[in-house]
Structure 1
Amino acid sequence: MCVRYDGVEVEEAYCDALTRPEPAYELCTGRDCQPRWETNRWSECSRTCGEGHQARTVRCWRMLAPGFDSSVYDELCVAAGLARPVEKKACRNKACGPQWELSEWSECSARCGGQGTMRREVRCSVGLSPCNEAMKPASEKECLGPPCDRQWTASDWGPCSGACGEGRMSRIISCRNLEGKVISGSQCDPTTKPLAVYPCGGWNCPAHWVEQGWEQCNASCGRGVKVRRVLCAGLENGVYREYPEGHCDISQKPEVQAPCFKRPCSIWFTTAWSQCSKTCGVGLRLREVKCYQGEELGQGCDPTSKPEAKQTCQIQPCPTELPDEDCEDKATANCALVLKVKLCTHWYYRKACCGACRSKAP
């Protein structure tokens, strides 16, 4: 300030502007300010019906200097004996009505290059009223078979197991793609599959029944049927030869099919996805995942094939700044000092001193 010889403040014009000192702030150190927990707003309920959850961010903050707040390690708030606010709480909307529950799609029924069908089971969850048939999801859809780049490959023959009539030598037949990776045998043409078992044990071996290995059970769970090829075959001058079935004793022909049973049928079912938990930015959407064994809830489903029950979602990016009508500098923030030391680039001070920072924006 400009003062007269007797100490009275007068107009600045009476003082020499060239000798005016620069205005300055001097920070002094007092006792450390106590930390505090701060929370943001609760998210929307993760489910639009029934019981869901809401989440919020909890951070430990402390004033490091007058007007300068910053987030610090949570351990500081814990050491100060401050109870951490909850970050998650249950929320409940109106009760969910009956919902359609869906199993995973089956493999495409088509052979390579052809049209086929994929199927899934659609069932209504247990409720007091039936599901809306008009909203029932499709249980079948068309699909295209795998590319025709699959082919059968065979290993070398193993040793002969015995004399003519009983002796067998076998090899492993696999279905592979162009990269040489073993894939499901259903993706190769069954009509071109090489034989895995040959007769052996003599240079000339008369016709007799030669059974191939059992194919996989035709049911992925529960009871099914497995089949195998049984050929009337022998050796002529050491060369394999097939004969009409009349050359072998029909009464001695081995079975070509047999019942099979895999683990009890337990299938994963899912409901539709919930709405995103946030209207902007990254949120979560959820769905129910249940294991059914027949009509009852069970525990026998394969945990490695369990469908996801939650996934991230983003409807639109959140605005980086508050709307103009909501912009108001915090009374506790020393916005003049924030401008002086150029802290408007920090997200907290840009929000706390939104008016002051915008007034200085280029």
Structure 2
Amino acid sequence: MGFAEEVRNAVKNLGGWFNGHAHIDRAFVMESKYVEHADMDPWDIATYPLEAKQHTTGALHEGLAYTRESLRERMTRALDESIKYGTRRIDSFVDATADCIGSSAVEVACELRDQYKDRIDFRVGAYPIFGFKDDQPRRWDVFVKSAQMADFIGTLPERDARKYHIGFKEHFRRIINFANQLDYKDVHMHVDQTNNPEENGTESLIEAVRWLRPDSSGRLERRLPTVWAVHALSISSYSEERFQRVVEGLRETNIGVIVCPSATLSNKQNRNILVPMHNSITRVLELLLNDIPVRIGTDNVQDFFLPAGSMDLYNEVSYASNILRFYNFTSWAKIATGNRLNEVDKMKIRSALEN
């Protein structure tokens, strides 16, 4: 059998794919009808820098895409396709913003979560993509309402580093404190997305968790993390000494990492920044060797961020295996189903890193 068939069979034997990160409320919007009200072309938007794409999400909210009918139709398609590909669980961020949509997208997602509960474990993450401003309290109010309905909290700390926002480090403090008030609800944070050593999102997350949700015995007791760093790409650009400090911090605080290979590969690389040579993905193999839990996700699917994305998680495994030069299908099946690796898996990873 070929690699794809070996992986798919191994995943099936382990119960099915676990898609650790998605944005299914924005899936399947690469048609002009979704942004024609803003005189935009979705294929043009797809070439914009990451921050500009985040801005255009507001235009998407104002059009057809975020009517309840379209949300239900497109999220249903995403769930149906996930089931077709053998996914047993999917964790998806869903926009919760103080513009025209409010909590409506999260409400529709929660309805579908309940409707599909016997077919797929769909977990909804309330996602305030535009961040917070103290002089606009409705931003926080919408988020609170949405987070109370949702299964977990998903955020974008870098958004609050902007002028007039609450501040980058304040974002970590407020979100984790609030999640603690919701019975220590799981938190997933986008961090270090641009492959730039000047980013310190993972380090800031470690520091925040160290003070606000410490879990020093979690790794030793093999408890699943309740805090996850999504992407953590820029740590690959760090010096070896700095990277090892990040690894120790992740171990100490029991923070997991979610990797989305097609998303990080799609980043435009800044050729003026000189860093240790690496592919555009976080150092998955080294994290696994250090007992850092790693999940894999599709991220965006057929939207401005990733127009060529797919709900088939095998594609992400295929990308990752080639980028990292690691082809042990048994290990990849464990990662892609949310299972921990054993010492045999780690031995094979060590061998791959040494060759």
TM-score (norm 2): 0.19
Point out the structure with the larger strand share. Answer: 1
TM-score of the superposed pair, with normalisation by structure 1? 0.18
When you count helix as a share of all residues, which structure comes out higher? 2
Higher-Rg member (1/2)? 1
Higher relative contact order (CA closer than 8 Å, sequence separation 6+) = 2
